[in-house]
Every structure is written in C-alpha cells, then in structure tokens.
Amino acid sequence: MPRASTRTIDPALDAAALLRRVGFFGLFVILPVLAQVARRAAVILAPIAVVLLIIAGAIDRRQRPVALALRRLLTAPAFLAGMLVVFWSALSLAWTPFLGPANERLANLVATILLALAAYLVLPDRMRSANLYLLPLGITAGAIVAIILGVFGAHIAPGAEDDGALDRGLVLLILLVWPAVGWLRSRHRDREATVVALLVAVALTVQPDATQIAALATGAVAFALTSFRPKLGTALTAWICAGLLAAAPLLPFLARPLTAAAFGALSPAALSLKSWQRVVTSEPVRLVTGHGFETALRGRLVGLVPVNAPTTALFEFWYELGIVGAFAAAFALFVAIRRAGDDAPALVPGAMACFASAFTVACLGVGLTTVWWLATLALAIMVFVAVERGQFRTRRPKVAKLRRLRDDGSADPVAG
C-alpha cells in the first residue's frame, strides 16, 4: 500500500505563495520590460510588488525573525554609516537655501530606504529557485524590448527619445543583469548567463550612450577580475569606489590638465572641471559642512552653482553634505563592498560588477538623490539579497539518497 501523503492543503499558504510569485513576477519580469517604455516604472511598480511580498510574509511567516534581522542590520557598520549620511542630510536642512524642495527630496530618500528595508525584512529565508529564474527571464525580455525600441523606436513610439524612458530602462538592465548572471552561474548555467549578458550588451549598442557603455564595461572588468582573483577584485572595487568619493575635491585639479591636453582647454569637460575647481577654492569652509541638501540642483537655476558644473554624485555629495556626508558615504560604500557576498562566494563577481556599474553611472551622469535612481539602487540591493538567499543548496540530492532518507523516516516530504 502506498504511504499516505502527509501534505495538508492550507489555502492561506497557497495564497501567500501566489502573492509572492506575483510580486516577484512584477519585480523580475514586468518591471525590466515596462521600464523601457515608462519613465516612472520603478517608482510605481516596485512599491506595489513590495506590498504583495509583505502580505505574503505576514501570512506564511517564511521570512527570518524580524527582531534578529533588525539587530544584525542595526549593528552593521555600513548601515550605521549610511544612517549617518541620512541624519546629516536632515541636519543640513538648517542651512540649505531651498528648504521646501529639500524637504521633499529628503522625504523621497527616507521613503525609498523604508521600502528597501521592508523588502529586506519580508524576503523568505530560503528563496525558491522557480522565483529566482524569473530574473534572467525578465532581463532577457527587457533587453529584447530595448533592442526593438532602439531599432524601430522612431516608428513604434515617436518622441520616445525625448521621454528618456529607454535610457532609464537600460540603466536598470545594466544593474540587474549582474545578479541574473550570478544566479545562473551559481546554478552552473554558464551558457545561459553569457546569452543574457550579451543581449544586454547588444541593447546598449543599438542606441549608444557613453555613460551606459562605460558602466557595463566597468562592471564586466570587475566581474572578470573578481572571477579569477576574488580577493583582489573585491579589494580594488572597494578602494577605488570609496577612494574616489572621499578624494573627490582633488579630482578636478588632477583631471583638468589631462582633459585639457586631450580635448582642449575650451572643451566642455575641461570647462566643467574648471568650474569645479572654482567651487572648491572659493569657499573652503563649505567643504566641511556642505551647502545643504538639494543645493547642487536648485543652485544652478539661481546662479549659486555654475551652470556647467558637474552633475555627478562625486560633486554633489561634497557640495551638499561636505566632508561629513562624503566620508560617511565612502566608509559605508567601502564596508558594504568588502562585506558583499561573504555568505555566498559564487555571487561575489556579480556583486562587484554591480557595484562598479552603479558607481560608474553615478560618477558620469546621475545626480545624488534622483528618485528613479534611488528606486533602481534599492531594487538592485533587494534582488541581490534574494539571490543570496537562494544559495542554500547548490545541487539536487541524488534520488537514491532521498529514498534512503524517506525509508528511514528522517525526511520531511514538505521541506524544500
């Protein structure tokens, strides 16, 4: 007589599994595709998906104990340094000349952090492989849509280039392709990982953008180096990213002669660095306190900041938050990079590539607290956490071993 199944039907658990699958489908599949055509896709869709994950977690409670997760998070040096950046940003409201816009931008920053924190707390302790395989599927679909829009965009959606949705969508693909590649490689699917990465690379070539190509290329170099020398790749990524942020005020003095020699003293890049030099030397005291939150963007409109000053995170961190905010952010970045992937060595190359790509995008053309950029970063972090929690088993146990465990009565037929 066959042994009766011990599995019981629980509609609540089935509903939680369905909600979680829908949430991950929205984040991993719909969002990469929709981001190619909708500018605010990440800002709108990500909170909806996180709410579904929260509801699923409240039903089946498959996430880690909240108290333990919060305790680990609140004692992490990188998180504490990041909270110092947020606290200093809030304190800088006392001397910012644009209090109203600064309050709004700070509220967006805090809301994004809370959303990412909620997603971190409700992610299951063990991620199902079926949910994580949605990620490379979504990246592939998003890349194909981007290629079609890049080739036929003028006929499909006239004026889409001016909307900027495709540029933001490609940035999302650049960041999320690395956890997708890391997941596939951890499951020994190297050919599929290569195909996904190549599709994203092709998507960038049909509508070339120097920042996006540089970001993907930098990530690829970090990935290759860390794959062969994990410790060296991690150390170089951490020191370069944190070092550039900490020493940003010195960069215009070092880079301007080289830029002038290569492109001419009157080139836009050289003049932008000259404006940065003037900002550093004209108010050295402000290097300590900064000018206050939101001044780098709003100051251009009223003449406080030169119009041709850089629009990068390196300039804006120092201009708005000074040495306190910049050093705290550099320390948080350094510790986070060194800590990334310690629990899952197979993901370290992808994590370093994602850090390098994101830092390149921030250095070459994205402001400090643009809402869509913050949402994209939060999504990339959440995806990497999810992929890391899917590493609890790297290979399927043999059938004979499963039968032996079942006959001994030591196997739980519901587990896994």
Token pair for 35: 């981001």
| Domain assignment of residue 5, yes or no | no
Residue 4: the pLDDT is: 47
- 363 pLDDT band, cuts 50/70/90, is confident
Question: Is pLDDT of 411 > 70?
Answer: no
Average pLDDT for residues 51-55, to the nearest whole number? 91
| Domain assignment of residue 406, yes or no | no
Percent of the chain exceeding pLDDT 70 equals 88
Whether the Cβ atoms of residue 182 and residue 347 lie closer than 8 Å to each other: yes
Please write the tens of the pLDDT for every residue from 326-337: 999 999 999 999
- 24 pLDDT band, cuts 50/70/90, is very high
More confident residue, 397 or 270: 270
Q: How far is CA 93 from the centre of its chain?
A: 27
Best-predicted range by mean pLDDT among 76-90, 297-311, 361-375?
76-90
3-state SS string for 266-295: CCHHHHHHHHHHHHHHHCCCHHHHCCCCCH
Token pair for 401: 């071993």
Token pair for 318: 């120092």
Report the alpha-carbon distance of residue 321 to residue 121 in Å, rounded. 29
Other beta carbons within 10 angstroms of residue 367's beta carbon come to: 16
Contacts of residue 69, defined as CB under 8 A and 6 or more positions apart, other chains included, come to 63, 120, 121
Residue 156: the pLDDT is: 57
- 343 pLDDT band, cuts 50/70/90, is low
Closest CA relative to residue 200, chosen from 360, 28, 32: 32
Residue 69: the pLDDT is: 85
Please write the tens of the pLDDT for every residue from 273-307: 888 888 888 877 788 888 888 888 888 888 788 88
Amino acid at 65: P
Contacts of residue 354, defined as CB under 8 A and 6 or more positions apart, other chains included, come to 175, 178, 179, 219, 380, 384
| Domain assignment of residue 401, yes or no | no
Find the DSSP H helices in 26-98. 31-34, 41-60, 66-74, 77-91
Please write the tens of the pLDDT for every residue from 28-48: 999 999 988 888 888 888 889
Residue with tokens 């041709």: 308
| Domain assignment of residue 410, yes or no | no
| 3-state DSSP helix/strand/coil % of the chain, to nearest 5 | 75, 0, 25
> What's the whole-number average pLDDT of the chain?
84
Please write the tens of the pLDDT for every residue from 202-226: 999 887 788 899 999 999 999 999 9
| Domain assignment of residue 379, yes or no | yes
Residue 157: the pLDDT is: 55
The range of the structural domain enclosing residue 356 comes to 13-391
| Domain assignment of residue 210, yes or no | yes
| Domain assignment of residue 411, yes or no | no
Residue 224: the pLDDT is: 94
Residue 370: the pLDDT is: 78
3-state secondary structure of 317: helix
Please write the tens of the pLDDT for every residue from 85-106: 999 999 999 988 888 888 988 9
More confident residue, 261 or 246: 246
Question: Is pLDDT of 379 > 70?
Answer: yes
Report the alpha-carbon distance of residue 24 to residue 241 in Å, rounded. 30
Residue 341: the pLDDT is: 60
Q: How many distinct structural domains can be found in the chain?
A: 1
Residue 392: the pLDDT is: 67
| Domain assignment of residue 6, yes or no | no
3-state secondary structure of 124: strand
Please write the tens of the pLDDT for every residue from 165-196: 788 889 999 999 999 999 999 899 999 999 99
Burial of residue 53 (number of CB atoms within 10 Å: 0-12, 13-18, 19+): buried
Question: Is pLDDT of 133 > 70?
Answer: yes
**Rounded alpha-carbon distances, angstroms, from residue 203 to 18, 41, 198, 210, 265:** 32, 19, 9, 13, 34
Report the alpha-carbon distance of residue 76 to residue 60 in Å, rounded. 28
Question: Is pLDDT of 410 > 70?
Answer: no
End-to-end CA separation in angstroms for the chain: 25
Whether the Cβ atoms of residue 349 and residue 230 lie closer than 8 Å to each other: yes
Average pLDDT for residues 101-128, to the nearest whole number? 89
Find the DSSP H helices in 229-250. 230-246
Residue with tokens 């030169």: 306
Token pair for 197: 């990465």
Residue 301: the pLDDT is: 80
Residue 391: the pLDDT is: 82
Report the alpha-carbon distance of residue 156 to residue 149 in Å, rounded. 7
Question: Is pLDDT of 8 > 60?
Answer: no
Residue 409: the pLDDT is: 47
